[in-house]
Amino acid sequence: MAASFPPSIFSSSPSSSKLTSISSFSRDSSLHFRSRRMRKVRATILRENEKVVVEETFQPKASPDHEPPPPTSVEKWVIKIEQSINILLTESVIKVLDTLYHDRDYPRFFVLETIARVPYFAFMSVLHMYESFGWWRKSEYLKVHFAESWNEMHHLLIMEELGGNAWWFDRFLAQHIAIFYYFMTVFMYALSPRMAYHLSECVESHAFETYDKFIKEKGDELKQLPPSKIAVKYYTEEDLYLFDEFQTARLPNTRRPIIKNMYDVFMNIRDDEAEHCKTMKACQTHGNLRSPHDAYNETVSSEDDDIGCILPDAECEGIVDCIKKSITNKS
Ligand SMILES: [Fe+2]
Ligand SMILES: [Fe+2]
């Protein structure tokens, strides 16, 4: 069910240069990024047959600092059980959606997108709680998850613009699944962030496959349709800081879509889902997630000898680990 690709901080697309590490940034790259606010971003053309190959664009993590210890045999079993439950859950929901929406694409996408942004909000809720209790402070996780939810919100707005939410039943179903999914994700994330991130990876993987299939089936029709106004605004006219921020397997400023028709819109939504998938995969290794901008800024800061403002980090993996560390630190 879930796509299998190794964790990473950054990688480049197959068509771009093979930059796989922050430390390998060239001086030219640094100058390029420093000047990004000074000039208008130059868009790159999305090639018609370009396909996001997640396995190829996701390189092994570059920094050795966070290299996790290999899992014990007990942990391996726990991971297997967690992933089996997630796959079962995802496949069950997919079967229901296949039954209800086999011939109604836009309502199906509306339901999917309503559900899709829920886990990011749930992650942020739990992370805020940890921070309030002094158990955890990782601003990069909050920032990346907000950027992910911002991206998913625009997918949802596009589906609403296309009329996916016209029937009350679709809204009713999507909103009730979302409520259930929110509380389930909060509970799961508090117990096992790894499991919650894997479930999201399964959902994102399904979203990628759904859009990929739709593009292949309806590609010719979509090329004749004018683009969604919301998509044009989001992908080409707004500040793209948050757009870069959720794509943790890419360098900032390396993906700039051109939206000329609905085919371009769905291609980019599909590619967004692939980027979410990679980010969710990276999150399953504790401490592996980096904000693309923060990581880049660290590189520039080290070159300029300006470290800026650094918040102290406290770490924990789920509520059990948080309570254990909180008690241990006080004694
Ligand atoms: Fe989406
Ligand atoms: Fe998604």
In the reported structure, the alpha carbon of residue 109 is separated from the centroid of ligand 1 by a whole-number distance in angstroms of: 8
* Homologous superfamily in CATH for domain 22-330: Alternative oxidase (1.20.1260.140)
Q: Are 193 and 300 in contact, with CB atoms under 8 Å apart?
A: no
Report the amino acid identity of residue 213.
K
Single pTM value for the model: 0.75
**pLDDT digits 0-9 by tens, 6-32:** 333 333 333 333 333 333 333 333 434
**pLDDT digits 0-9 by tens, 183-202:** 999 999 999 999 999 999 99
User: What separation in angstroms does the CA of 244 have from each of 8, 151, 189, 251?
Assistant: 16, 10, 25, 8
Q: Is 198 exposed, middle or buried (0-12, 13-18, 19+ CB in 10 A)?
A: buried
In the reported structure, the alpha carbon of residue 203 is separated from the centroid of ligand 1 by a whole-number distance in angstroms of: 10
Distance of CA 302 to the CA centre of its chain: 28
∠11-15-18 over CA atoms, to 5°?
40
**Residue extents of the structural domains in the chain:** 22-330
In the reported structure, the alpha carbon of residue 207 is separated from the centroid of ligand 1 by a whole-number distance in angstroms of: 7
Q: Are 315 and 289 in contact, with CB atoms under 8 Å apart?
A: no
**pLDDT digits 0-9 by tens, 27-75:** 333 434 444 333 333 333 334 444 444 443 334 343 445 566 677 778 8
In the reported structure, the alpha carbon of residue 156 is separated from the centroid of ligand 2 by a whole-number distance in angstroms of: 10
Q: Are 274 and 207 in contact, with CB atoms under 8 Å apart?
A: no
User: Closest ligand to 203 CA?
Assistant: 2
Report the amino acid identity of residue 25.
F
